[in-house]
Amino acid sequence: MLAGALSSRTTFAASTVAAVRRAGFGLLPAYDAPHYDLLLGSAEYRETEALLAVFGPPEANPYKRRGR
């Protein structure tokens, strides 16, 4: 995914299903395993803070392409 659709991104952050569920967020299977759609209960600032806390620090995308 980083080499394809996200090759224009300089950084990315990742998490695990277990960490997302422990934080109280719901998940729906997406078209391509192991990817999921994440369900938010609201669009409130505190919920977005909780979601960001589930992910680690940004990492460099090793597949970043120039000129994209």
Query: pLDDT tens per residue, the chain (68 residues)?
Result: 778 887 888 999 989 889 999 999 999 988 777 778 888 888 899 998 999 999 989 999 999 987 64
- Assigned domain for 44 exists: yes
How many folded domains does the chain comprise?
A: 1
Task: Please state, in angstroms and rounded to a whole number, the distance separating the CA atoms of residues 65 and 56.
Answer: 23
**Structure confidence at residue 53 (pLDDT):** 93
Tokens standing for 9?
């991104």
pLDDT in the model for residue 24: 93
Determine the structural domain holding residue 41 and report its residue range. Answer: 11-60
Task: Answer yes or no: is 51 within a domain.
Answer: yes
> CA 63, 4, 19, 29: dihedral to nearest 10 degrees?
-170
Residue 35 inside a domain? The answer is: yes
Other CB atoms within a 10 A radius of the CB of residue 51 amount to 16
**Confidence at residue 36, expressed as pLDDT on a 0 to 100 scale:** 83
pLDDT at 67: 65
Residue 21 located in a structural domain: yes
Consecutive H or E run containing 28: strand 26-29
d(CA 20, CA 9): 22
Evaluate whether residue 1 is within a structural domain. no
